[in-house]
A = this chain, B = another copy of it.
Amino acid sequence: MKYSASKENHLKSIFHLQHEQGLVTTNALAAALQTRPASVTDMLKKLKEQKLLHYERYKGFRLNNEGRKAAVQVIRKHRLWEYFLVKKLQFGWDEVHEIAEEMEHISSKELVDRLDAFLGYPATDPHGDPIPDSMGRFSQQKQLGLSGVPLNKPVRVSGIAQQTTEMLELLQYHHIHLGTRLEVKKKFPFDDSLEVKIGNRPPVAISAQVAKNILVKEEEK
């Protein structure tokens, strides 16, 4: 199945919204796509026609299996191209979104799978969001904030929630990057700050505010 760029955009946004909301509303989708509620309604009819989602008028909507599959393929493409742009073409992590918005609509499945191989099957994009595999499966482990990690459990940085320049600068200073191994050695209940071992360095203090923005996954063996 091949869908228009506009349909792919709708599917993708619905997918993201329904993770937060369950049932998605017309207004929410219109806001996410920077379009008008009336336009969303028009598109919903077409997507329902093509059996990509459940939708009853005035009642909200959510993707069915077909729709979810299509959405995930678009997300896969988007994230792989972002990874390519940053890792191979040296773009900054904050410059790639718009370009990837265009590239995600290139249709060849073969292309995407070869790109995946060329990049070494990356698990997350440059923002730390997981890249689904060729079958549409997301790596099952989920990200959690560093704040919620048990003491002495080895974890790996898999994403940064609030990507401000200041935040990035601070992380840079502490040598914390995507993929960096961390261990929480101590928690201070007074201000919820943490003492964290970063790679093999001596432990340093990390504020609660920063910690909750560092997303990690359990270390795979």
Contact = CB atoms under 8 A, between A and B. Distances in A.
Contact of A107 (B90, B102, B111): B102
Contact of A111 (B85, B114, B115, B118): B85
Tell me the dominant secondary structure on chain A's binding face.
helix
Report how many copies the assembly holds: 2
A89 interface: yes
Interface of A: 85, 88-91, 98-99, 102-103, 106-108, 110-111, 114-115, 118
A99 B110 CA distance: 10
18 contacts: A85-B111, A88-B118, A89-B111, A89-B114, A89-B115, A89-B118, A90-B114, A91-B110, A91-B114, A98-B108, A99-B106, A99-B108, A99-B111, A102-B106, A102-B107, A102-B108, A103-B103, A103-B106
Pairs of residues from A and B, 8 with the lowest C-beta to C-beta distance, nearest first: A89-B114, A99-B108, A102-B106, A89-B118, A99-B111, A88-B118, A103-B106, A89-B115
A118 B99 CA distance: 17
